[in-house]
Chain A
Amino acid sequence: MREIKANQIKDKVKALFLKANFYINPDLMQQLGKALEEENSPMGKHVLQMIIENNKIASREEVPICQDTGLAVVFVDVGQEVHLVDGDFKEAINQGVREAYKEGYLRKSVVDDPVFERKNTNTNTPAIIYTDIVPGDKIKFMVMPKGFGSENMSTIAMLKPADGEKGIVDFVVETVKKAGPNPCPPTIIGVGIGGTIDKAMVIAKKAIICKIGQSNKNSKYATLEKEILTKINNLGIGPAGLGGNITSLAVHIDYLPTHIAGIPVAVNVCCHAARHAEGIL
């Protein structure tokens, strides 16, 4: 057993949310530079230049990359040999979020009741927490401030087994087409295939934040990612939706075994910032 204090969790979560909101991951910055080279549209290039400049300003000044500092999503892998002491696990995470959003001058975008009062909680909590128990004596955090411009464009479908590969490609491409300029293209598209309807979306979300452009280890799924990305970029939507050949920077698929009767397909759309940060305790 290894003891980890609730306070350590709080501090780690806080530090990661500050980092994710101020600093774009280097692999994504590199991909944006590549997109700038490959984009044919003058307006598309202009937009990409502004995005790159914005990201440099944010990190230099330690100010938020985007005003929508998102709903606080936290994926936690808890080692089964960890013993948490001096506090409550979820409360420690939420306190980390509260402190990051207060001290980092991040926007609080959470309303308590989704339909009626819609009153801002003013703390950006509660966070959305996904916990997995894994072997080992460490805790791994992956935090993701998720903006809603892109979240609002996300979709899910329960396809028939007969729909197969083509059904999946068509559904993902149609989702991106319908979203058009709304989710801040060039986007990163997380696709979750299989499992249940709920699990498919969770793995789609987690797929967004894997290393940008890293292909699926299964070559069939890697080919599917490439095919979808090509078709998306052939839509012509372009940076900011103003026309161009770079509509998405990457398509990341994750998949799970599923039921004999179906293929759940979840598409979680993410803006060009794909903010996230990882840390281990």
Chain B
Amino acid sequence: MKEEIKITTPLYEEKVIQLKAGDLVKISGHIYGARDAAHRRIFELIKKGQKLPIELKGQIIFYAGPTPVKPGYPCGSVGPTTSYRMDPYTPALLKQGLKGMIGKGLRSKEVIESMKKNKAVYFAAVGGTAALIAQRVKKSEVIAYEDLGVEAIYRFYVEDFPVIVVIDSAGQNLYETEPPKYAK
């Protein structure tokens, strides 16, 4: 196992290209939470050339919709949702300067090609560890599309949010390289 790398947001190309598939990373700073419905709206705005509710340049989007906040806690349980549902929208967001995505599961060829072209990184958070991840979220707020409820855009302030680089900006992909090593 590699040593952990600490990064802070925003994330720029120089840092992105140093991150390699298999790296264990701890993220600190602001990240955005957005899932299916928010992606669809952002995508429509990009297509029409209209202003987006958040600046994507240098940012990380966490594919997540948290549980409601229990009193006394900064955030509800929040873990990654499956990423492939965001694939149809993702290349357009990467073109706008999005540098990182946190989710779980496979990505399409188009997304991986776009990540290579636009120098972006795909992190996996461990699915089903929402209570653990929530402890690394120090602040959470809805900043756009409140009408979407759980599918609104959130802004989280995180400290040492644990992720794994699954697909790096060169297209190295742990989901392809690792299972064959253990297959019988």
B180 touches A107 (CB 8 A): no
A109 to B65, CA, bound (A): 10
In B18-41, the 8 Å CB interface with A consists of 22, 24, 37
B128 touches A181 (CB 8 A): no
Given A65-B77, A243-B181, answer yes or no on A107-B175 (Cβ-Cβ < 8 Å).
no
Contact string, A178-214, partner B, CB cutoff 8 A, digits 1/0? 0011111000000000000000000000000000000
Q: Which of B24, B124, B182 has the most CB of A within 10 A?
A: B182
A63 touches B104 (CB 8 A): no
A87 to B168, CA, bound (A): 57
Q: Give how many A residues have a beta carbon under 8 Å from the other chain's beta carbons.
A: 51
State which of B5-13, B79-87, B91-99, B112-120 sits at the interface with chain A: B79-87
A273 to B131, CA, bound (A): 12
In A34-64, the 8 Å CB interface with B consists of 40-44, 46-47, 50-51, 53-55, 57-58, 61, 63-64
B104 touches A181 (CB 8 A): yes
A105 touches B70 (CB 8 A): yes
A66 touches B130 (CB 8 A): yes
Q: Which residues of chain B come closer than 8 Å to A262, judged between CB atoms? A: none
Given A51-B126, A107-B150, answer yes or no on A63-B182 (Cβ-Cβ < 8 Å).
no
The reply to whether the CB of A100 lies closer than 8 angstroms to some CB of chain B is no
Given A152-B82, A236-B181, A242-B164, answer yes or no on A180-B129 (Cβ-Cβ < 8 Å).
no
Q: Indicate the size class of the contact surface on chain B.
A: 35 or more
B124 touches A242 (CB 8 A): yes
A244 to B175, CA, bound (A): 11
Interface residues of A (CB under 8 A from B): 40-44, 46-47, 50-51, 53-55, 57-58, 61, 63-69, 105-109, 118, 120, 122, 149, 152, 180-184, 234-238, 240-245, 271-273
Given A109-B65, A149-B81, A271-B128, 8 other A-B residues pairs in contact with their CB atoms under 8 A: A42-B1, A55-B131, A67-B78, A107-B68, A240-B124, A241-B105, A242-B166, A243-B177
Q: Lowest 9 A-B CB distances belong to which pairs?
A: A243-B178, A236-B183, A236-B182, A184-B127, A182-B105, A236-B179, A54-B129, A54-B132, A58-B131
